[in-house]
Structures are given as structure tokens and as C-alpha cells.
Amino acid sequence: MNSKLVMTGAVIVLGLAGIACLLIPKEIFKLYNPATEDIQGLLVQLLGAGFLGFGALDWVSRKSLLGGIYGRPVVGTNYTHFLIGSLLMVRAAISQPNNVVVWFTLAQVRHFGCSKKYLFVNAIRVH
């Protein structure tokens, strides 16, 4: 099996799905008939799978040189996730100023976003 072909296919599918979910989330949510709790649970589980995947990637990469030529894709992927997540959480915090959970999540996402940006720009060894 050609690994480059598999990875390219995954990039196309995940990239298009990610862009669509960011730009037209309500329309995509309607496609899954969100009236049933099963679909809502499924979408939250898919989100959890993505978080678990990032966690596994970070765990495996924790002792690597991050920000360098080999660790740059790991840090860049994380940075993209946390940057977009921070922007989305700012919007959520503005629309729900009294929601403590939203503000807590924003603080966590922003913290890791800034950390990943630092790693992305400066190659350092993590001990």
C-alpha cells in the first residue's frame, strides 16, 4: 500500500470536512438530523476522538525536538488546532459572558495555543 497516497487522501477528506464544519456548521449539523440524541452523542464522540488523537500525538512526541525540521509538523498541527479553537472560544465567550465553563475553556485553549506558537517558532528540547 502506498502510504503517501493514503495520507494524501486523508488530508483531502479531513481538510474539506474541517473547512466545511468551520464555515457551515449549522447546515452540516442539520444533515445528521440532530433531533435525535444519538446523533448529538455521535458528534461529541467524534470530537472526543479528535482530542484523543491530538493527545496521543503529543504523548508520542513529548520527548522529541519540537519546532525543528522533524517536530514542526506536530507543533504546526497543534498550533492550528489551538489557534482556531481560541478564536471560536472568544466568539462563544462574547456571546455567553456569564458562562464560567466557556471562559475556563477559552483560558486553557489560549494557553496551549500560545505555548504551541512558541514551540513552532523556537525549536526546543522538551524534557
Tracing cell 512558541 back to the chain, one arrives at: 118
| Position 127 confidence tier, pLDDT thresholds 50, 70, 90 | low
Q: What is the pLDDT of residue 93?
A: 92
CA 88 to chain CA mean position, Å: 11
Enter the DSSP assignment of 98: T
Mean pLDDT across 10-27: 86
The fraction of the chain above a pLDDT of 90, given in percent, is 14
Sign of the Cα pseudo-torsion (56, 59, 64, 67, in order): positive
pLDDT top residue among 63 and 110:
110
Q: Angle at which helices 37-61 and 72-95 pack, to 10 degrees?
A: 140
Q: CA–CA separation, 43 vs 12, rounded Å?
A: 20
Sign of the Cα pseudo-torsion (32, 48, 17, 115, in order): positive
Domain boundaries, the chain: 62-127
Q: What is the pLDDT of residue 107?
A: 92
* Residue 100 confidence (pLDDT) above 80: yes
pLDDT top residue among 67 and 84:
84
pTM of the model: 0.75
* Residue 30 confidence (pLDDT) above 70: yes
Residue-averaged pLDDT of the chain: 83
Q: What is the pLDDT of residue 37?
A: 63
Number of helices (H) and strands (E) in the chain: give both, helices first.
Answer: 5, 2
